[in-house]
């Protein structure tokens, strides 16, 4: 009996050593190549109010729907992170109810990660077209990278295949993010401690304790199911 327990303990120790070796291998490759980072890439929801013809999650398509709560996203991410399965998060979502509501859910999930779980790893978030500049700014203060999907190459193709979206709602947040990056980079020149908007990993570490947290306003909750 003692021998069996000893063998089990040895097996667990070997598994832990293997995980550490794998993590160190990824880290070494990342240092040598300048990239190679394992991310949890996930949608908060595929319950979309839009009916874009090219998208599998369009509202008219008969697919299974699911929605994570912000707390579920945070717990899933931190769980994988603690097991050394991932080093960061890539978070996006279909548009639930409205662009602003969806952005608030994304911000709440990332805020829980940063503030409650003290997760200082890499986070890349997709901005939701049509969301307010205030929410875009709040998201920018929480993440390492932001991006927005151009969707289609021309305004005419956008009107044809995604009539509920517009060029303006895509271009405006791109311009806003670019202006904030430029302003932040100017503030960064005297001291790295001044950075507050989507810091670049080439300028400041994602582990920095100087990150400015701006929690989202959230008057709504989400129960894990689709909203019409």
- Is 5 domain-assigned? no
Model confidence at 34, in pLDDT bands (50, 70, 90)?
Answer: low
User: pLDDT of 22-33, one tens digit each?
Assistant: 666 666 655 565
Q: Is 203 within the bounds of a domain?
A: no
Q: Which residues contact 55 (CB under 8 A, 6 or more apart)?
A: 48, 61
In-domain check, residue 167: yes
Average pLDDT over every residue of 59-87: 92
What pLDDT, on a 0 to 100 scale, did the predictor assign at position 200? 40
pLDDT of residue 71: 95
Instruction: Decide if 106 is inside a domain.
Output: yes
- 15 lies in a domain? no
Domain range for 153 is 36-194
Residue 215 lies in a domain: no
How much of the chain, in percent, has pLDDT values that exceed 90?
32
The residue that leads in pLDDT, 95 or 1, is: 95
**Between residues 48 and 192, the one the model is more confident about:** 48
What pLDDT, on the 0 to 100 scale, is given for residue 223? 33
- What tokens appear for 94 in the block? 């279909």
- Separation CA 73–CA 66 (nearest Å): 13
Domain count, the chain: 1
pLDDT at 150: 80
According to the model, what pLDDT value does residue 10 have?
83
Comparing CA positions, the residue from 149, 152, 156, 155 lying closest to residue 95 is 149
Q: For residues 101, 128, 95 and 211, what is the CA-based torsion angle, rounded to 10 degrees?
A: -50
Higher pLDDT, 47 or 25: 47
Q: Using alpha carbons only, how large is the chain's radius of gyration in Å?
A: 20
Residue from 167, 170, 166, 164 nearest 59 by CA: 164
d(CA 162, CA 49): 12
> Among 50, 109, 106, 49, which residue's Cα sits nearest to residue 78?
109
Residue with tokens 């689709």: 226
80: domain CATH number is 3.20.20.70
4: tokens are 């069996």
Over residues 198-211, the pLDDT tens digits come to 544 333 333 333 44
> What interhelical angle do 99-111 and 70-82 show, nearest 10?
40
- Residues linked to residue 88 through DSSP beta bridges, in sequence order: 39, 122
CA 202 to chain centre: 19
Angstrom distance (rounded) from CA 95 to CA 101: 8
- pLDDT tens for residues 218-228? 333 333 334 33
Q: What is the mean pLDDT of the chain?
A: 76
In angstroms, the Cα distances linking 6 to 9, 15, 48 are: 5, 14, 52
Distance (Å) of CA 104 to CA 5, 22, 29, 189: 49, 36, 36, 31
pLDDT at 9 over 60: yes
Residue 97 domain-assigned? yes
- Answer yes or no: is 13 within a domain: no
93 against 177, higher pLDDT = 93
CB 185 within 8 A of CB 113: no
Check whether 103 has a pLDDT greater than 90: yes
CB atoms within 10 A of CB 214: 16
Q: List, for residues 145-183, the tens digit of each pLDDT value.
A: 888 888 777 788 878 888 888 888 888 888 887 777 766
Q: What is the mean pLDDT of residues 55-79?
A: 93
Q: Which DSSP letter does residue 201 get? A: T
In the beta sheet, which residues pair with residue 45? Answer: 67
Does the pLDDT at position 100 exceed 60? yes
């Amino acid at each position: 009996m003692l021998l069996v327990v000893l063998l089990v303990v040895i097996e667990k120790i070997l598994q832990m050593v293997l995980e550490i070796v794998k993590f160190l291998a990824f880290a070494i490759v990342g240092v040598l190549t300048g990239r190679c980072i394992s991310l949890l890439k996930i949608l908060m929801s595929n319950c979309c109010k839009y009916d874009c013809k090219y998208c599998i999650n369009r509202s008219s398509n008969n697919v299974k729907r699911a929605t994570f709560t912000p707390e579920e996203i945070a717990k899933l991410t931190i769980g994988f992170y603690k097991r050394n399965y991932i080093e960061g998060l890539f978070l996006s979502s279909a548009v639930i109810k409205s662009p602003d509501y969806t952005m608030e859910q994304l911000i709440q999930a990332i805020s829980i990660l940063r503030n409650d779980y003290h997760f200082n790893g890499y986070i890349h978030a997709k901005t939701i077209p049509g969301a307010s500049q205030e929410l875009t700014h709040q998201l920018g203060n929480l993440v390492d990278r932001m991006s927005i999907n151009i969707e289609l190459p021309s305004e005419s193709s956008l009107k044809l295949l995604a009539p509920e979206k517009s060029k303006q709602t895509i271009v405006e947040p791109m311009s806003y993010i670019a202006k904030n990056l430029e302003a932040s980079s100017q503030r960064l020149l005297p001291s790295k401690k001044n950075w507050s908007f989507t810091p670049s990993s080439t300028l400041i570490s994602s582990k920095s304790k100087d990150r400015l947290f701006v929690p989202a306003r959230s008057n709504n909750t989400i129960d894990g199911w689709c909203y019409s």
